[in-house]
Amino acid sequence: MILKGGRVLDPATKTDGVMDVLISGDKIKETAPELCNRFPDEELIDCTGLWILPGLVDMHTHLREPGYEYKETIKTGTQAAAAGGFTTIACMANTLPVNDTAAVTRYIREKAEREGVVEVLPIGAATRGLKGEQLAEIGFMKEAGIVALSDDGFPIRDAEILRLTLEYASCFHLPVIDHCEDLTVSKGGAVHECAMGTRMGLRGIPCISESVVVARDIQVAQWLQTPIHIAHVSCRSSIELIRWAKGQGIPVTCEVTPHHLALTVDDLYQSAYDTRFKVNPPLREAQDLKALILALREGIIDCIATDHAPHDTQSKMVEFEYAANGISGLETALPIALEVGREAGISPSTILSRMTVEPARILGVERGRLAPGMVANLAVFDPLESWTVDPQRLFSKGKNTPFAGKSLIGRVKMTVFQGETVFIDRNNPWEKMPFCGEEPF
């Protein structure tokens, strides 16, 4: 198959130009202009006016299987990933049972092999049952195929447990991802701590709930000279600490979500406390958003991760304080990230590097590059198509998006995984090509 005449944009190889991409079997064979003249027998896909991108990498997804299949399954979650242009996703351990044993890791791997349409890399729990007390079966889980450790949903509570986790993780060459939240500060909180939340009678989650743990993590990483990755950074105070740490050469990396780049607590008020805006960490203030965008531009924030957190309707259709935290994010991440970039003067190539090669680098996997010899994982993207987010049309079972009704510019038209087409948009420019995959729920 030849993807013909698209703008090939690959930050890892610093490629940005109109050319053809030849895919042979499950590999990228060659990228060069006018390949179709040399390979006249190949199936041609006209990508004129479209971008050809390395398949996106999400290092922070919640797939909910096993245990919460009513929120998402490996099948629907990977279909959502493909529709969003992602070909590799790392899934968090807060399933039921928790992914804290090799048996659960193997279950996820095998299920993903059978039912998933893109690559699923399981993340193992750092501690048993995410309880922060005893380390999980790290070695056995590594053998079974985990790529990182995280208690996400919860912080690694004690500094001593964090120290042990980092020591064990470094023996097994596993990155550690910490959800930074001091539960003694945030306990019971539902919104960012600010005057409006207090007036509404909602308990607040101040920024220090996050940044005190970021500070601790940096200290432990410095002490051990072992890397730590900070999940979903949300506030300026955390950014200041991470900027300092990077300046000192401390091995810390971090991620930001598209929703923390695009929304603030003001959007939550304007929505009249719509629970689709409820997420942990909470949406912060304009000054935080500004600091996040600046940090993204400077590379202080290494990558964009979706924190795709699908929930069933019942979990969200309750009083704000009882509603589940989380946003369904895989299918809107790329156009939102590009829009944030457009408004802030951050180039598409920089945004793409934060969604491809950078998360791959942190996870230590050979993904997120579009080069000959690499596995053929690609996304074809129309940078100009505008569309309106309709939750009912999402592949994810999680319809919980605060971007419902929002008009976005740019849409994934086709996703190729290991040389196979796993997603084609129903409004595809290749008239004869049928819509790929099942009808969305």
Site for Zn ion, rule CB under 5 A: 152, 307
Instruction: Based on the shown chain and the rule CB under 6 A, indicate whether residue 150 belongs to the binding site for ligand DOR.
Output: no
Instruction: Please identify, using beta-carbon distances, which residue of 2 and 303 lies nearer to Zn ion.
Output: 303
Q: Cα–Cα distance between 275 and 114 in angstroms, integer?
A: 34
Instruction: Based on the shown chain and the rule CB under 6 A, indicate whether residue 62 belongs to the binding site for ligand DOR.
Output: yes
Q: Cα–Cα distance between 404 and 412 in angstroms, integer?
A: 17
Q: Cα–Cα distance between 223 and 204 in angstroms, integer?
A: 32
> What does the radius of gyration of the chain's CA atoms come to, in whole angstroms?
21
Those residues with Cβ within 8 angstroms of residue 68's Cβ, 6 or more apart along the chain or in another chain: 95, 96
Task: Give the total of residues touching ligand DOR (CB under 6 A).
Answer: 10
Asked if 228 and 221 count as a contact pair (C-beta separation under 8 A), the reply is: yes
What tokens were used for 433? 């090509």
To ligand DOR, the closest distance from the beta carbon of 232 in angstroms equals 7
The residue from 152, 307, 382, 425 that is catalytic is 307
- Tell me how many degrees the CA angle 5-12-419 measures, rounded to the nearest 5: 55
Interactions with ligand DOR, residue window 303-322 (CB under 6 A): 309
| 100: partner contacted, choices ligand DOR, Zn ion, none (Cβ within 5-8 A by kind) | none
| 192: partner contacted, choices ligand DOR, Zn ion, none (Cβ within 5-8 A by kind) | none
| 209: partner contacted, choices Zn ion, ligand DOR, none (Cβ within 5-8 A by kind) | none
Instruction: Based on the shown chain and the rule CB under 6 A, indicate whether residue 179 belongs to the binding site for ligand DOR.
Output: yes
Instruction: Based on the shown chain and the rule CB under 6 A, indicate whether residue 234 belongs to the binding site for ligand DOR.
Output: no
Instruction: Please identify, using beta-carbon distances, which residue of 100 and 307 lies nearer to Zn ion.
Output: 307
What tokens were used for 219? 């200290």
Instruction: Please identify, using beta-carbon distances, which residue of 4 and 308 lies nearer to Zn ion.
Output: 308
β-pair type (51-54, 2-10) = parallel
To ligand DOR, the closest distance from the beta carbon of 19 in angstroms equals 40
Lay out the site mask for ligand DOR across 84-123 (x = CB under 6 A, - = otherwise): ----------x-----------------------------
Instruction: Please identify, using beta-carbon distances, which residue of 326 and 335 lies nearer to ligand DOR.
Output: 326
DSSP notation for 105-168: HHHHHHHHHHH-SSEEEEEE-SBGGG-SSSB--HHHHHHHT--EEE-TTS----HHHHHHHHHH
Instruction: Please identify, using beta-carbon distances, which residue of 276 and 369 lies nearer to ligand DOR.
Output: 276
Helices (H), 127-182: 138-144, 159-171
Instruction: Please identify, using beta-carbon distances, which residue of 62 and 369 lies nearer to ligand DOR.
Output: 62
Whose CA is closest to 413, among 392, 393, 383, 369? 383
To ligand DOR, the closest distance from the beta carbon of 251 in angstroms equals 23
Q: Cα–Cα distance between 431 and 233 in angstroms, integer?
A: 42
To ligand DOR, the closest distance from the beta carbon of 55 in angstroms equals 24
| 300: partner contacted, choices Zn ion, ligand DOR, none (Cβ within 5-8 A by kind) | none
Instruction: Please identify, using beta-carbon distances, which residue of 47 and 231 lies nearer to ligand DOR.
Output: 231
Instruction: Based on the shown chain and the rule CB under 6 A, indicate whether residue 130 belongs to the binding site for ligand DOR.
Output: no
Lay out the site mask for ligand DOR across 261-300 (x = CB under 6 A, - = otherwise): ------------------xx--------------------
- Concerning whether 307 is annotated as a catalytic residue, the answer is yes
To ligand DOR, the closest distance from the beta carbon of 248 in angstroms equals 28
Token look-up 């079966």 returns 137
Q: Cα–Cα distance between 21 and 19 in angstroms, integer?
A: 7
What tokens were used for 312? 């069933």
Those residues with Cβ within 8 angstroms of residue 339's Cβ, 6 or more apart along the chain or in another chain: 262, 408, 409, 410
| 326: partner contacted, choices Zn ion, ligand DOR, none (Cβ within 5-8 A by kind) | ligand DOR
57: three-class secondary structure by DSSP: strand
Position among 325, 401, 415, 421 found at the interface with ligand DOR (CB under 6 A): 325
List beta partners, residue 21. Answer: 3, 31
Q: Which residues bind ligand DOR (CB under 6 A)?
A: 62, 94, 152-153, 179, 279-280, 309, 325-326
Could you list the active site residues?
A: 307
